Structure 1
């Protein structure tokens, strides 16, 4: 069987798909990943074969533009304005960016990039003839290829937010700027194209899928390659708290969103060991500002670290949420926007953590929440329960047979070879 993965331009969107790619390859199936050139190297590190034919608007710029519109519409939660959508530099006034002029100048480019990307994906698929397509939630090319070639297309969620979710800041369906679906003669694009969904979320945090078929799968964390630090084998004398801050947060929401110093100050009032995982400019911001005994790590995969921690504090990203869930530890989310607030709401409703909006959370509130999560055994018990539920779900290897059967429902693909 040939399986075509299509992914959007951000590793966090497709990292949950990596173990399924491994399982399919181990079962003897061929896997190719249609992607943007920026994803070729991280996909190669993950052991998957990239087809870098897509173009498009990078996710950081999309996020900054979305935040600018939120500020214009009075929905921006931070005291300082969001960064400039194009440069990423701080904005002094909303008027320093002309949204109308930007759209007038850039929309034709977005249309043309969308046309080239979707046509390239369809062109490759017509040549390679996959039996099945698996795609992430912001990949337009996946459902398009499935429709054009008349093969099943399966959406693989990256966390507790799905295509039927609605709310402030959510962008759950990719735009079809170039009208690719009608151009290729397969109707208008919409939620009806999501018939099968691979859902890695236990029921307590699972999103609604509307009328789609839910295919449960175990969440197996993949956070990139790395090595186990030797000191992890040493039993800590105090509770260990991991602080994770995504590399995209400051880039999309500006330096005002970099709340790690506030978190460190809050934790310094507790008797805990602090481990921070930061990269790039975020790591540089914390040099010389750490309390005695704190560890500052870079590029240590979370799935190696979190099982040996008692609490994780993070920005509400789905990768952090799901990796902590798989590790069975409580989590404190400090969401900024996009899907992060809904992620925080769902972990709080499940009892495995708490959420505090990053824009308004102070040192006192963060310290109180962390202390509650460390001392109240109910949160740890709920986290352990969801960990066990996750481990009881079908592993990616167990889904291979299900996907084989799904592909077999479409004999036209095999006959066209």
Structure 2
């Protein structure tokens, strides 16, 4: 069988699909990953074969435009405004960016870029002739290939946010190039999603109208990295991991730069703090007390075992890896998708959620104290871990995908 993956240019979007790719290859199937040129190296490092032909609107611009659309629709949950979609500078007034004028100026070129990406995906599919297509929620190329080539396709969720959400302007991108219409398909593709691959525990099932939901156990792949021998030794104090996205400031603006506040809050508690951060972010923290250790280029799934709690921004990779490990979570959200994730983790009893504008050092310390002192959170996290581990492995998902392709 030939399985074609199409993915966005954001690594944490497609990393959840990597174990499925491994399982397909281990079963003797061929896998190709249509991606942007920027993703060719990380896809190769993950042990899959990239085909770097996709393009179109950058993920940063797409997300910033979405944030502005949410703010204009009254759905933006924070007291600050999102950054200007083009410059990234924080806005004091939504009038600083005119979406209609911007689209008049930029949409022709963006439509051409999107059309080129769609056409390249269709050409590759025509020549390679896949039997099955899997795509992440923002890679419309896979959905288009499945429809045009009449090949079974499935959307692969990366976390507990689905295709039927009420707090977003749109759950999926739309086609601005006219390519979908050229093939008799709607520009808004949500209704075309008929099958999904769902890696979440049942209590956090992403809402969707898809007719077929294929369950799979989430297995964490957070990129390559080396294990640290000292992590296997018991800690003298509870270990707390802080995993903060390096892209948040770029996406959401400087108001999301909460890492110094979080570390300052935790440094005053009787805990050992492990900060998973890049060198640049770590340098911005300044001098740190002995209780805080910075881990550069260490995959999160290697850090969390042995931790009593984790603090993160609500990204899908951090959330799902924490669920897989059974660690109580403090989610400090800076955008709507992350807020939804944090609310669902909290509602399931596996953690706490703090919107970023409420995350003072005192509030962070108090919330973490609750996670560590109340055994109910550890119980809730363990319940979700068991739900997750009861799901079919990627190897068993392969059999379902084979049936789908047949």
TM-score (norm 2): 0.95
Contact 1:262 1:362 in 2 (8 A): yes
Contact 2:35 2:52 in 1 (8 A): yes
Q: Secondary structure at the match of 1:191?
A: helix
**Residues 322-350 of structure 1, C-alpha deviations (whole Å, 9 max, x = no match):** 00000001000011113101101110111
**Residue matched to 2:218:** 219
Supply the distance in 2 between the matched residues of 1:181 and 1:75 (Cα, whole angstroms). 28
- What is the deviation of 1:171? 4.3
Contact 1:77 1:359 in 2 (8 A): no
**Residue matched to 1:311:** 309
**Residues 34-73 of structure 1, C-alpha deviations (whole Å, 9 max, x = no match):** 1111111110110111111111111112222333444556
Q: Secondary structure at the match of 1:197?
A: strand
- What is the deviation of 1:90? 4.0
Contact 2:24 2:398 in 1 (8 A): yes
Q: Secondary structure at the match of 2:339?
A: helix
Q: Secondary structure at the match of 2:284?
A: helix
Q: RMSD of the TM alignment (CA)?
A: 1.8
Distance verdict in 2 for CA 1:77–1:146, change over 3 Å = closer
Whether 1:362 and 2:360 are equivalent positions in the alignment is: yes
**Residues 103-134 of structure 1, C-alpha deviations (whole Å, 9 max, x = no match):** 22111111111111111101110110000001
**Residue matched to 1:206:** 205
**Residue matched to 2:147:** 147
- What is the deviation of 1:280? 5.1
Whether 1:275 and 2:270 are equivalent positions in the alignment is: no
Q: Secondary structure at the match of 2:32?
A: strand
Distance verdict in 2 for CA 1:284–1:64, change over 3 Å = farther
- What is the deviation of 1:185? 3.7
Q: Secondary structure at the match of 2:358?
A: coil
**Residue matched to 1:137:** 137
Which stretches in structure 1 are left out of the alignment for 5+ residues?
Answer: 409-417
- What is the deviation of 1:98? 4.5
**Residue matched to 1:337:** 335
Supply the distance in 1 between the matched residues of 2:210 and 2:259 (Cα, whole angstroms). 40
Contact 1:335 1:355 in 2 (8 A): yes
Which stretches in structure 2 are left out of the alignment for 5+ residues?
Answer: none
Contact 1:348 1:355 in 2 (8 A): yes
**Residue matched to 1:392:** 390
Contact 1:78 1:256 in 2 (8 A): no
- What is the deviation of 1:198? 0.7
* Number of residue pairs matched by the alignment: 406
**Residue matched to 2:160:** 160
Contact 2:176 2:187 in 1 (8 A): no
**Residue matched to 2:61:** 61
Supply the distance in 1 between the matched residues of 2:63 and 2:137 (Cα, whole angstroms). 16
Contact 2:77 2:336 in 1 (8 A): no
Supply the distance in 1 between the matched residues of 2:234 and 2:69 (Cα, whole angstroms). 48
Q: Secondary structure at the match of 2:22?
A: helix
**Residue matched to 2:348:** 350
Contact 1:2 1:30 in 2 (8 A): yes
**Residues 237-261 of structure 1, C-alpha deviations (whole Å, 9 max, x = no match):** 0000001111211111112211112
Supply the distance in 2 between the matched residues of 1:391 and 1:3 (Cα, whole angstroms). 25
Contact 2:175 2:187 in 1 (8 A): no
- What is the deviation of 1:97? 4.2
Distance verdict in 2 for CA 1:170–1:230, change over 3 Å = farther
Supply the distance in 1 between the matched residues of 2:313 and 2:331 (Cα, whole angstroms). 5
Supply the distance in 1 between the matched residues of 2:84 and 2:77 (Cα, whole angstroms). 16
Supply the distance in 2 between the matched residues of 1:342 and 1:79 (Cα, whole angstroms). 17
**Residue matched to 2:284:** 285
**Residues 17-45 of structure 1, C-alpha deviations (whole Å, 9 max, x = no match):** 00000000011100001111111111011
Distance verdict in 2 for CA 1:211–1:81, change over 3 Å = closer
**Residue matched to 1:231:** 230
Supply the distance in 2 between the matched residues of 1:74 and 1:208 (Cα, whole angstroms). 22
**Residue matched to 2:245:** 246
The 10-residue stretch of structure 1 (56-65 or 377-386) with the greater mean CA deviation from structure 2: 56-65
TM-score (norm 1): 0.93
Distance verdict in 2 for CA 1:216–1:110, change over 3 Å = same
**Residue matched to 1:322:** 320
Supply the distance in 2 between the matched residues of 1:195 and 1:78 (Cα, whole angstroms). 34
Contact 2:56 2:114 in 1 (8 A): yes
Supply the distance in 2 between the matched residues of 1:211 and 1:75 (Cα, whole angstroms). 25
